[in-house]
Amino acid sequence: MLLSALAFSVMALFVKAVGRAGIPVIEIVAARSIVSLLLSYIGLKHQGVPLLGNQKGLLFARGFVGFIALICVFYAITHLPLAEATVLQYLHPMFTAVLAFVFLREISSKGAMVCVFLSFVGLLVILKPPLLFGTAAIEYAGLAILAALAGAFGSAIAYTLVRQLNKTEHPLVIILYFPLVSLPLSIVFLWNDFVMPEGIVWFYLLLIGLATQLGQYGLTKSMQTETAARATSFSYLQVVFAIVFGVVFYEEIPNIETLIGAGLIIGGAYVNVTWNNKIKSR
């Protein structure tokens, strides 16, 4: 999951660069879907694994729910301040813990719950969203807030499905279904808005696809050995990686609130790891 968080942070770094080049978000989704589709297909053929898996209904549901969640998140990002959209999106580890308990009968460890709590508080300290702190009088569109919540809940459903599918499916089969669903839908939504990439942008799009594939693989593998709640709670470390990349590549120097928030997130991850190790050592 740590590798997954790092890979998704790298993906976000290049998404920002491609976005600055004028490439529409839905086109970025389509490009990363093409790379993921090819890599998953090659990997499955090389290993001799049937492409379409066993539980086709659940696999399709994972791909479709993941795509809808992604669209909701993008809608929220474009209609809400980034801080509010990010905070609402990172409700997904909490939703995942509830769904995993209801449908998979997985009881979250105290360490995972402490991790989610500290990480979410750390995120609030970093972003200080006006929606919660009242630092600005902003009228938010109700639909955008509902979209952000739907995106977080949809992500939680997708992660819970991944946890269930891991019992019978190869990780690459689970990953394959996302581009199988998202690519044709992305093309339909994109249609006349396509922008031809130029120069280095082609390379950035390739890196986005590679990083996404690595992130998805790490996420899927982590859920083979850990509960859904504990695995997804580590996703908050993506915020810390993003801070580091911001300093290195964009000279975005963090303020004291950002450092405190990052410390809380790292502390939550440490508790999550050490708590589980203590239990195993008993």
- In whole angstroms, what is the distance from residue 156 CA to residue 35 CA? 24
Residues 6+ apart with CB under 8 A from 221: 171
pLDDT at residue 34 tops 90: yes
Q: How confident is the model at residue 124 (pLDDT cuts 50, 70, 90)?
A: confident
pLDDT at residue 221 tops 60: yes
Q: What is the pLDDT of residue 130?
A: 65
Q: What is the pLDDT of residue 45?
A: 92
pLDDT digits (tens, 9 = 90+) for 68-83: 988 888 788 767 765 6
Query: Which ranges in 82-199 belong to alpha helices (H)?
Result: 82-89, 92-104, 110-127, 130-133, 142-165, 171-190
Residues 6+ apart with CB under 8 A from 174: 53, 59, 62, 162, 165, 166, 220
Q: What is the pLDDT of residue 270?
A: 82
pLDDT digits (tens, 9 = 90+) for 180-219: 999 999 988 888 888 999 999 999 999 999 998 999 899 8
- In whole angstroms, what is the distance from residue 157 CA to residue 232 CA? 12
Q: Residue 66 corresponds to which amino acid? A: G
Domain boundaries, the chain: 2-281
**Residue % of the chain over a pLDDT of 70:** 90
Q: What is the pLDDT of residue 197?
A: 92
Q: What is the pLDDT of residue 39?
A: 93
Is the pLDDT higher at 263 or at 246? 263
Q: What is the mean pLDDT of the chain?
A: 83
What backbone torsions phi and psi does residue 137 show, to the nearest 5 degrees? -90, 95
- In whole angstroms, what is the distance from residue 205 CA to residue 155 CA? 23
Q: b/e for 7-16, b at 16 or more Cβ within 10 A?
A: bbbbbbbbbe
For residue 19, the tally of other CB atoms under 10 A from its CB is 12
- In whole angstroms, what is the distance from residue 175 CA to residue 59 CA? 9
